[in-house]
Amino acid sequence: MAAEYYRLNKDKVGELFERARADYDVVAKTRDANGNLVYGRPATFDDVAFVDEQPPMSAKAFALPQTETLVRYEREDEKIRAEGPEAEARDVLLFGVNICDAAAFDIIDHVFKWDYLDDPYLGRRADATLFALACAAVQQDCFCDRISYAEDGVDTVAYPLEGYYLVKVQTEKGRKLVERYHDLFDAEDGDAEAAINTFREKAGTAKKEPLLESARAGLEKAFEHADWEILASTCIGCGICTYTCPTCHCFDIQDEGSAIAGRRLRTWDHCTGRTFTAMPAHQPRDRQYKRYRQRLLHKFWYYPERFGPLLCTGCGRCITYCPVKINIKELVEYFGGLKDTPPGGARHGK
Amino acid sequence: MATIREELQAAVKKLFDDDKIDYFVGYAEDYGHTFPAILTKDSDPSRLTFDRKSYDNLANFLPELRGSRVGLICKQCEVRTLNVLAAEEQVERDKLVVVGVPCPAMLDPRKLTEGAADLDSLDESYWQEKCRRCLERNTPLADVFVGERVSTPTPAEGWPLLEEVEKMSAEERLAWWRRQMSLCIRCYACRLACPLCYCHQCFVEDNKPQWIDKSVAPENNLHYHIIRAVHLAGRCIECQECSRVCPVGIPVDVLNNVLSRDFAERFGYVSGETAETQPALTRYERDDKEDFIL
């Protein structure tokens, strides 16, 4: 559909949240026990953090939970009873989600509807409406300005302008949301796209050359580059980069329980770990730097080769939360031939 | 006068030129962060640095480089780690070159706000908790020392967060731990950032038998953290890397602190205190208290 533009007064956001709770399972940013920002289910608008700051964990768990039951089984005498996962009852509204989190769903949809239709994921995805809040300033390590991912699958985006939110509606789901609460929205008469462009220039989120897509040709020649070992061997192999990532989607299937009763579940898994794929076969990457290289090349070469978009929205969490501060953007630029100096200057074989 | 940075870079260059080491493990600085860097003789040492954001416990990289001659920057945290690793026969001291530094106390990244002006001048309120308890700011054991020696303030007594947790009633405390454990995402960064968690096969990865369920749930998460803490009993040197790296801010080290304090109070034992310190659980003294067994 052609985009539509509305105005939402800043003092109407609370009312929108409260009324949406009657129709949707509303997920919004709130604070957890340690004061971290998280996507959760705050009960009132007072507990909502309607801010552009990124929570440590992305929003992907609402389509791909970290732990998900696929089937439960129970044996009674000779009979085995098995039940699939319970269907979730209500439509989810992701309220105030960051654009980098919201746009990630379109990117990973490709893999979940590729050769096998992943019903649990696709079901939750189809039921989710995205109400994104645009960032007024870039965050610590993010680089969305360097990746040209599509945002037109994000149902609505609210741009915080002077005195009001300019709401851009991009999909039918977004239009349904606005129609439901139409009395809260006013028509936008001005040149909305010009206002959005100005806003993004000021926020620092307008796209800048060279985009990381252009590193691909260089990366395709860099698999055997001698510097991987020196630059990626500080990786400790934890899963923080992948677990906080809005686009990393690898999972493991596990059984819990006994022969009498139990469940089969899937949990997140990650290619940077020592035991990744060790259960069905073996971990083919025998050194840590090779595991890190796999993650980078999967995002910036293999995935776009197969599906088109980069497997990255530039949120920067994998840099911010990396215990050893490995910088994926810098490494893509270096191995992709966009810059000559490696991060930290620790160049091998100068 | 040469800065510590220049002295460090010159010292590292000399170690490679004199063919004393195969690898150097230090810190580099770039894109607003200080992070660990592993160098070989062909590497450019010009971004090596040592500052108040040199957080990582570099001894964590030693088991991986075992067999090679390695130089590394050692703060007090690394020194105590080395002592434990050497006592457990995980490193060969004669293959290590310890580069000593005057440690200015590391800053707590959670207390640093965007654009904090002069990192060197930040006072105790910005320090990491461990730095208030530091026994010696100038690397003991140093083979090479760079920079000007500093004085070590009297180590602070007590374990503030642990004491706060202990003031809670049993119910409150359980609820507090449940809340913390509900945040855990089981990335195992606490284990992987721990220089003393070096097992090739960790119990969490076994599946025959499977000691621990893989699903992320508070009781499974707590199970993991408690077993890890017990595996570190009398070994943990309180570098607090487990808590620093936690992406959701769980104060993991509180569990280890309980055990460290018990070892200190019952046996006057500080893990990795000197190169001669033997692991607590492998030694026996006739006057060890046995009041909790007999």
Q: Is A349 on the interface with B (CB under 8 A)?
A: yes
CA distance B178 to chain A (A): 10
CA distance A57 to chain B (A): 8
Tens digit of pLDDT for each residue in A310-322?
999 999 999 999 9
Q: What DSSP state is assigned to residue A301?
A: I
Amino acid identity, position A172: E
Whether residue A271 is predicted with pLDDT greater than 90 in this model: the reply is yes
- pLDDT for the residue numbered A350: 38
Nearest to B47 among A274, A275, A346 (CB): A346
**Contact residues on chain B for A279, CB-CB shorter than 8 A:** 207
Tens digit of pLDDT for each residue in B211-267?
998 899 999 999 999 999 999 999 999 999 999 999 999 999 999 999 999 888 888
Residue with tokens 């599509």: A150
Tens digit of pLDDT for each residue in B68-113?
999 999 999 999 999 999 999 999 999 999 999 999 999 998 888 7
Contact B189 A344 (CB under 8 A): no
- pLDDT for the residue numbered B200: 87
Q: What DSSP state is assigned to residue B291?
A: T
Q: What are the backbone dihedrals phi and psi of residue A185, each rounded to the nearest 5 degrees, phi first? A: -105, 145
Contact A176, A170 (CB under 8 A): no
- Residue A237: strand, helix, or coil: coil
- pLDDT for the residue numbered A230: 86
Contact B241 A252 (CB under 8 A): no
Whether residue A141 is predicted with pLDDT greater than 70 in this model: the reply is yes
Contact A157, A134 (CB under 8 A): yes
- Mean pLDDT, residues B163-173: 96
Nearest CA in chain B to A342: B30
pLDDT-above-90 percentage for chain B: 68
Average pLDDT over chain B, rounded to an integer:
91
Whether residue B281 is predicted with pLDDT greater than 90 in this model: the reply is no
Separation of alpha carbons A289 and A228, rounded Å: 6
- Chain centre distance of CA B150: 21
Strands B144-145 and A37-40: unpaired
Ramachandran region, residue B32 (left: φ > 0; alpha: ψ -120 to 50; beta: rest): left
CA distance A30 to chain B (A): 14
- pLDDT for the residue numbered A345: 65
Tens digit of pLDDT for each residue in A231-255?
998 999 999 999 999 999 999 999 9
Q: CB-based burial of residue A339 (10 Å sphere; 0-12 exposed, 13-18 middle, 19+ buried)?
A: middle
Separation of alpha carbons B233 and B256, rounded Å: 7
- Point out which residues pair with A193 in neighbouring strands: none
Total Cβ atoms within 10 A of residue A204? 15
Strands A128-133 and A185-187: unpaired
**Contact residues on chain B for A55, CB-CB shorter than 8 A:** none
Nearest CA in chain B to A263: B215
Contact A244 B43 (CB under 8 A): no
Contact B183 A36 (CB under 8 A): yes
- Chain centre distance of CA A329: 16
Q: Is A237 on the interface with B (CB under 8 A)?
A: yes
Tens digit of pLDDT for each residue in B22-31?
999 999 998 8
Q: Which residue has the higher pLDDT, A304 or A259?
A: A304
Total Cβ atoms within 10 A of residue A249? 20
**Contact residues on chain B for A33, CB-CB shorter than 8 A:** 179-180, 182-183
Q: Is A225 on the interface with B (CB under 8 A)?
A: no
- pLDDT for the residue numbered A291: 96
Give residues with Cβ within 8 angstroms of A152, minimum separation 6: A3, A170, A171
- Residue A178: strand, helix, or coil: helix
Whether residue A168 is predicted with pLDDT greater than 50 in this model: the reply is yes
Separation of alpha carbons A291 and A335, rounded Å: 16
CA distance B265 to chain A (A): 30
From the CA atom positions of chain A, what is the Rg in Å? 22
Amino acid identity, position A11: D
Q: Is A156 on the interface with B (CB under 8 A)?
A: no
Q: What are the backbone dihedrals phi and psi of residue A164, each rounded to the nearest 5 degrees, phi first? A: -155, 170
Find the length of chain A.
350
Contact A256 B40 (CB under 8 A): no
Nearest to B279 by CA among B288, B270, B266, B287: B270
- pLDDT for the residue numbered B35: 95
Nearest to B189 among A275, A323, A327 (CB): A323
Contact B74, B101 (CB under 8 A): yes
Separation of alpha carbons A42 and B131, rounded Å: 37
- pLDDT for the residue numbered A72: 94
Nearest to A321 among B37, B247, B250 (CB): B247
> What's the ipTM?
0.92
Whether residue A74 is predicted with pLDDT greater than 80 in this model: the reply is yes
CA distance A276 to chain B (A): 10
Contact B32, B41 (CB under 8 A): no
Question: Chain A neighbours among B 119-148 (CB < 8 Å)?
Answer: none
- Chain centre distance of CA A66: 13
DSSP run (H or E) holding A74: strand A67-76
- pLDDT for the residue numbered A125: 93
- Mean pLDDT, residues A326-345: 91
Q: Is A163 on the interface with B (CB under 8 A)?
A: no
- pLDDT for the residue numbered A281: 84
**Contact residues on chain A for B249, CB-CB shorter than 8 A:** 34-36
Separation of alpha carbons A343 and A327, rounded Å: 8
Give residues with Cβ within 8 angstroms of B103, minimum separation 6: B75, B76, B131, B134, B137, B138, B139, B150
Question: Chain B neighbours among A 36-95 (CB < 8 Å)?
Answer: 36, 56-57, 66-67
Give residues with Cβ within 8 angstroms of B17, minimum separation 6: none
- pLDDT for the residue numbered A146: 96
Nearest to A124 by CA among A98, A87, A155: A87
Contact B193 A236 (CB under 8 A): yes
Nearest to A12 by CA among A50, A55, A59: A50
Q: What are the backbone dihedrals phi and psi of residue A161, each rounded to the nearest 5 degrees, phi first? A: -100, 180
- pLDDT for the residue numbered A78: 87
Whether residue B170 is predicted with pLDDT greater than 70 in this model: the reply is yes
